Amino acid sequence: MARSHRIIGRSGKVGSYSYQVHGVGCLFISDNGTEIDVDFTVDGREVFDFWRLRRYGRSLPDPHDPTEQDLRFAVESLKPLLIEVRPGWFSTASA
C-alpha cells in the first residue's frame, strides 16, 4: 500500500535492513544477509509461504534448510497465532 501511494521508493534502507519492492511484496535483507520476503494481500496483510520460510532459513548466519513437512508442522504448532489465508499461504492472526 505504501508503495502504491508513493510513500516509499522501490528500494531503500530502514535501520539495518535494505528493502526492495517486487510485484505484490517486499524483500528485506539485513546487514548480516538474513532475508525476509513477504507478499501483501489486497487489504495490506503480510503473507508468506513455505518457499519464503525456507529462503529465510537458508539466509541465516547459521543456515537451516527445513523440509516442507517440518515447516507444515511448525506452522500447525503455531495456531492460533498463524492462520492459513489461502492454500499454502500464511499470515498472523488478527487481534
Question: Would you write out the chain's pLDDT as a tens digit for each of its 95 residues?
Answer: 444 555 678 999 989 999 999 989 999 999 999 999 999 988 889 999 999 999 999 999 999 999 989 999 999 999 889 999 989 999 998 75
User: What's the grid cell of residue 27?
Assistant: 524483500
Domain boundaries, position 20 = 11-92
Residue 52 domain-assigned (yes or no): yes
Q: Which DSSP symbol is given to 10?
A: S
Residue 70 domain-assigned (yes or no): yes
Residue 20 domain-assigned (yes or no): yes
Task: State the CB neighbour count (10 A cutoff) for residue 24.
Answer: 12
Residue 21 domain-assigned (yes or no): yes
User: What's the grid cell of residue 88?
Assistant: 499454502
**Domain tally, the chain:** 1
Dist. CA 86–CA 66, nearest whole Å: 21
Residue 3 domain-assigned (yes or no): no
